[in-house]
Copies of this chain bind each other. A is one copy, B any other.
Amino acid sequence: MDAAKANGPKKEQNQRPVIPGPTNPMVTPLLSDFYQFTMAYSYWKAAKHNERAVFDLYFRKNPFGGEYTIFAGLEECIRFIANFKFTAEEIAFIRASLPKTCEDGFYDYLRGIDCSDVEVHAVPEGSVAFPKVPLLIVEGPIAVVQLLETPILNLINYASLVSTNAARHRFVAGKSKLLLEFGLRRAQGPDGGIGASKYSYIGGFDATSNVEAGRLFGIPLRGTHSHAFVSSFMCKEGSESGCDMKASPPETREQYGEELEVKCRKFQRAAKAKLPAGCPPSPDEIVEKSLKSHDGSSTCEDFVSLAQTWLSKIKRSHSLHGIFGETNQSELAAFTSYALAFPNSFLALVDTYDVMRSGIPNFCAVALALNDLGYKAVGIRLDSGDLAYLSCEARKFFRTIEKELRVPDFGKMSITASNDLNEETLDALNKQGHEVDAFGIGTYLVTCYAQAALGCVFKLVEINNQPRIKLSEDVSKVSIPCRKRCFRLYGKEGYPLVDIMTGENEPPPKVSERILCRHPFSESKRAYVVPQRVEELLKCFWPGSTDKAREELPPLKDIRDRCIKQLELMRSDHMRRLNPTPYKVSVSAKLYDFIHFLWLNEAPVGELQ
């Protein structure tokens, strides 16, 4: 980097590796608000388009009632910026959308622009971030920077929101649990799903069900089978009772009543035939019943019967006797079939019929049959009911089998829980006590149901070296003017104490040197800090035409690691779910004075009438 820097901007630019475009090809310069184009035209018409502007991107309030936010979405922004260029087709569309009175020169101008003169400083992706401190500082010709506003906000708002949501779920679940993102079907559109997978992973999830996200980002994939899989198996004996609603329907309800009675009798016979112990689990369904042992040394010719045998054994076993009667045989057929397909990774969804009276015994029968052949079943998934209670009962069942049938480690069988889980339900499960090892979380995670949007804003803080402040009757909406530098100050115990913003040319805070940190808007809130460590928060991720070194975009795994480490560094009272302590965000004394000086000068003096 330093060598490249020494060579000056031009050469460095040539040496830069090509940054690929955004993951979603729909992210183009047109993915923007129309007013960015009308403004661009106005700037151009007023010959203001190249005025040098500085914008801060920040949020005003942490989401989910918490006191921290994970910053994410930077890589996609930089990819977008690096490849920002209008195609002829895009320009044609803009031309068709703007009034005919707009001058041709503007489209020539659009044709020529890119981000080679835009400079982006940003907090690294995966960082813990706080309100008001800029996540991104974007400097460049005002028309270009404003064209970037909407796509950048779009790419950061949701990404940061989901990462934060994931981190919060991780916090409640605890470090030892496996967290699986299962939200694709309920996500807000296709790349709402893909984004959720990526950013949940950054926030501390372990895997996703989303295959495309696995392919794009290398996130581990998880998933076994659904209720439909189980329902698709059935005792063939019952078949005559099938959908023959299709056969000549009766003309009257009375007639139908008779028909139904006949049908019921048939079905009951079939059902009876299905029930006795030893009834083969839909043998027609399973064509290939043989399974080689794990070490390949032998072959079990009838794995189906082996599972059956184990089911009988469990039923007769001392401690489990009477816990269940006849299990659902089509479920057993489904489990057996799944185990034959995936003998090394058998995980069964056990709640299609009845968890304790069918799902768990059937699972155990198949798991024990696998065990005979040297395979180790993975475990079960619960997708309904009282997850705390069921997980404890399942664990008891597994432990009893381990003890009674002397199967080492059977009690440690993994239990996955899913079904509309969120922070609250995880918390409730913890309080009740549970035996769940892995949580599959969907809707509430990916849609950020508890708060579906993060309100990042993009505010002009300087133009042509002139500070700009945006006033508002709501103090929390007043922007902090000037191009700034931002630092995190760490205390003796290694915790971050406070973030401080200074003017760009102020001397930065120094280790062991006392510095006054002021609340940006509240006169009385201030504190002296003697930092033990000073971390500059924003780095140059896109140097534009400057000779600054460009920070490399780290791989996803590193972003995730950064996030986990940064969260571990935080003092616990900032992190707790109930009444967390706000982390302090401050400005230097000098910046404080400057803000209030500008404020007084810009604010109109009221007149009471």
Contact = CB atoms under 8 A, between A and B. Distances in A.
B263 A211 contact: no
A22 B38 CA distance: 30
A212 B465 contact: no
Interface string A185-196: 111111111110
A256 B593 contact: yes
A466 B242 contact: yes
Nearest to A353: B604
22 contacts: A26-B194, A27-B190, A34-B221, A41-B342, A42-B338, A46-B286, A46-B337, A99-B345, A101-B344, A149-B185, A150-B184, A153-B186, A154-B184, A189-B194, A228-B459, A231-B463, A239-B464, A245-B506, A245-B590, A267-B597, A443-B452, A449-B452
Interface stretch (A48-56, A122-130, A558-566): A48-56
Interface in A302-340: 328, 337-338, 340
A569 B455 CA distance: 38
A425 interface: no
Interface stretch (A169-177, A468-476, A546-554, A577-585): A468-476
A508 to B, nearest CB: 11
Contacts of A232: 43, 48, 51, 53, 142, 460, 463, 468
A453 B452 CA distance: 10
Interface string A211-244: 1101100000111111111011010001101110
A357 interface: yes
Q: Which 4 A-B pairs have the closest CB atoms?
A: A35-B223, A34-B223, A447-B452, A153-B185
Contacts of A214: 34, 93, 97
B212 A30 contact: yes
B245 A591 contact: yes
A344 B209 contact: no
Given A46-B287, A443-B453, 11 more contacts: A33-B211, A34-B223, A43-B232, A153-B186, A154-B190, A157-B185, A186-B454, A243-B465, A247-B505, A249-B505, A264-B597
B31 A190 contact: yes
Interface string A78-103: 00000000000010011001010110
Contacts of A601: 241, 267-268, 271
A540 interface: no
Contacts of A242: 464-467
Q: Taking each of A42, A90, A505, which has the highest tally of chain B beta carbons within 10 Å of its own beta carbon?
A: A42
Nearest to A198: B189
Nearest to A256: B590
A19 interface: no
Interface string A271-305: 10000000000000111100000000000000000
A1 interface: no
A384 B53 CA distance: 24
Contacts of A253: 516, 589-590
Contacts of A47: 287-288
Q: Taking each of A51, A209, A340, which has the highest tally of chain B beta carbons within 10 Å of its own beta carbon?
A: A209
A154 to B, nearest CB: 5
Nearest to A146: B228
A32 B211 contact: yes
B28 A604 contact: no
B249 A503 contact: yes
A245 B462 CA distance: 12
A404 interface: no
Contacts of A568: none
B452 A344 contact: no
Nearest to A352: B470
Contacts of A23: 26
A231 B194 contact: no
Nearest to A226: B35
Contacts of A452: 188, 443, 447-449, 452
Contacts of A344: 99, 101
A192 B464 CA distance: 36
Contacts of A239: 464, 466
A58 interface: no
B224 A38 contact: yes
Q: Taking each of A35, A253, A256, which has the highest tally of chain B beta carbons within 10 Å of its own beta carbon?
A: A35
Contacts of A8: none
B155 A190 contact: yes
A29 B18 CA distance: 29
Contacts of A13: none
A542 interface: no
A504 interface: yes
Nearest to A466: B242
B211 A341 contact: no
Contacts of A39: 225-226, 228-229
Interface string A148-171: 011101110111000000000000
Contacts of A263: 597
A221 B97 contact: yes
Interface in A371-408: 384-385
A505 B242 CA distance: 14
A295 B557 CA distance: 63
Contact of A225 (B38, B384, B464, B465): B38
